[in-house]
């Protein structure tokens, strides 16, 4: 980001950009046609978008056009980030003295800042960004300011790039092939030691899910049923899905979190299935839907990078499978899919994702997940 500082307003822009990037974790975004204005984005910030505009605004008509143009750009950002609402802080650096701005226009909060003292004395700004009073660079100017700001932003950028590189660099999957291998071994074992995967007695012998047997104390079936499959097509379909989704998600989240999410999703899927019907059921599809739920949570928090994938692949796959399962195929255990999907989302929220999660989200996710498991367990006993 190159600047030629020629005025105090330019210095003020540099101070603000430095603070929001290095302290508040905002990142610059490219906006087509934007001149003498800087757009910053933080999907988890108090304001999703901060716009710093140093263009001279002469009158109310020009201000209204500026707000109109800003709102159109924000509409594009909404589509890109799958957001219904994008609250924006619109900082105006250069306006005529007699111009009055509306504090709120369509989720766009506009403020006029013409010097450093205005920033550090504005109660509303200090309430939202309490660190700005002490962290804003105020004692440098000219070349010293440029060098300091540039070095700090570059260091922050390198740190962010290292985090993203660590997450998105392809890694060798270990847990995914292990889970696939277990499912194949169990499938073969059903033919060696039983009457095959289509035989009900054999399925029950190997640990298929069944409400009555779980109520009798065989709670381990909630987990063992994940690794059983009814027929070769069922096995191959699920294993292909696990191979495609699992390798990617394991790379994003790491081996331990991935395994926990798989098992917890399978558990939730088995629980909801047992609550809703008393048939003999089996399969890893509930756990696989949990991986989709996990990917949904992960993709939402990294939607700047995965937004198009989220819109064009992940969400459509989830919706199509649920709709097809509930409307066309009565043999599909849709409640296992739904339970797994919810379980995977909540479990990922509870465990946290690299570089994005905060403690409050993890605590909330843990509480809701525990309550859901407790509620379904209670319902299973009562039905």
Beta-strand relationship, 88-95 and 108-112: parallel
Within 8 A by CB and 6+ apart from 27, the residues are 21, 40, 41, 42, 160
Quick check: 156 and 22 in contact, CB under 8 A?
yes
Q: Please confirm, yes or no, whether 285 is among the known catalytic residues.
A: yes
Which strands sit side by side in the sheet containing 37-41, from one edge to the other? 27-29, 37-41, 49-57, 88-95, 108-112
Question: Which of 285, 294, 301, 357 is labelled catalytic?
Answer: 285
| 255 alpha carbon, distance to own chain's centre | 19
- Axis crossing angle, helix 255-276 with helix 232-253, rounded to the nearest 10: 140
Tell me, what DSSP letter sits at residue 105? B
Inter-residue long-range contacts of 311-317, CB under 8 Å, 24+ positions, other chains counted: 311/82, 317/292
Helix spans in 313-358 (H): 315-327, 334-351
Tell me, what DSSP letter sits at residue 219? T
Residue with tokens 């985090």: 163
* Phi, psi torsion values for 28, nearest 5 degrees: -70, 145
Question: Which of 18, 229, 234, 337 is labelled catalytic?
Answer: 337
Provide the token pair at 222: 């909630």
Catalytic residues: 285, 337
């Amino acid at each position: 980001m190159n600047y030629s500082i020629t005025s105090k307003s330019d210095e003020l822009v540099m101070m603000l950009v430095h603070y929001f990037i290095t302290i508040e974790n905002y990142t610059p975004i490219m906006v087509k046609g934007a001149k003498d204005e800087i757009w910053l984005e933080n999907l988890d910030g108090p304001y999703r978008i901060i716009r710093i505009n140093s263009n001279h605004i002469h009158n109310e008509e020009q201000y209204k056009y500026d707000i109109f143009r800003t709102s159109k750009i924000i509409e594009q950002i909404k589509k890109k980030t799958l957001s219904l609402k994008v609250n924006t802080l619109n900082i105006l650096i250069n306006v005529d003295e007699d111009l009055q701005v509306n504090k709120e226009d369509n989720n766009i909060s506009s403020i006029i800042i013409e010097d450093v003292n205005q920033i550090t004395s504005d109660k509303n700004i200090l309430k939202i960004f309490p660190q700005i009073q002490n962290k804003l660079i105020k004692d440098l100017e000219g070349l010293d300011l440029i060098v300091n700001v540039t070095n700090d932003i570059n260091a922050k950028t390198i740190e962010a790039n290292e985090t993203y590189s660590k997450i998105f660099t392809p890694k060798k999957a270990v847990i995914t092939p292990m889970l696939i291998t277990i499912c194949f071994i169990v499938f073969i074992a059903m033919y060696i030691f039983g009457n095959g995967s289509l035989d009900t007695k054999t399925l029950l012998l190997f640990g298929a899910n069944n409400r009555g047997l779980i109520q009798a104390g065989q709670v381990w079936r909630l987990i063992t049923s994940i690794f059983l499959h009814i027929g070769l097509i069922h096995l191959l379909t699920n294993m292909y899905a696990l191979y495609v989704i699992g390798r990617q998600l394991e790379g994003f989240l790491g081996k331990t979190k991935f395994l926990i999410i798989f098992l917890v999703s399978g558990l939730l899927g088995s629980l909801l299935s047992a609550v809703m019907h008393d048939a003999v059921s089996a399969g890893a599809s509930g756990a696989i839907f949990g991986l989709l739920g996990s990917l949904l949570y992960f993709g939402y928090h990294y939607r700047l990078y995965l937004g198009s994938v989220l819109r064009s692949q992940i969400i459509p796959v989830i919706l199509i499978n649920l709709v097809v399962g509930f409307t066309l195929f009565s043999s599909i255990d849709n409640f296992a899919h739904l339970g797994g999907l919810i379980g995977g989302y909540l479990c990922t929220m509870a465990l946290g994702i690299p570089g994005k999660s905060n403690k409050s989200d993890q605590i909330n996710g843990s509480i809701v997940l525990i309550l859901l498991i407790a509620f379904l367990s209670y319902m299973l006993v009562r039905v």
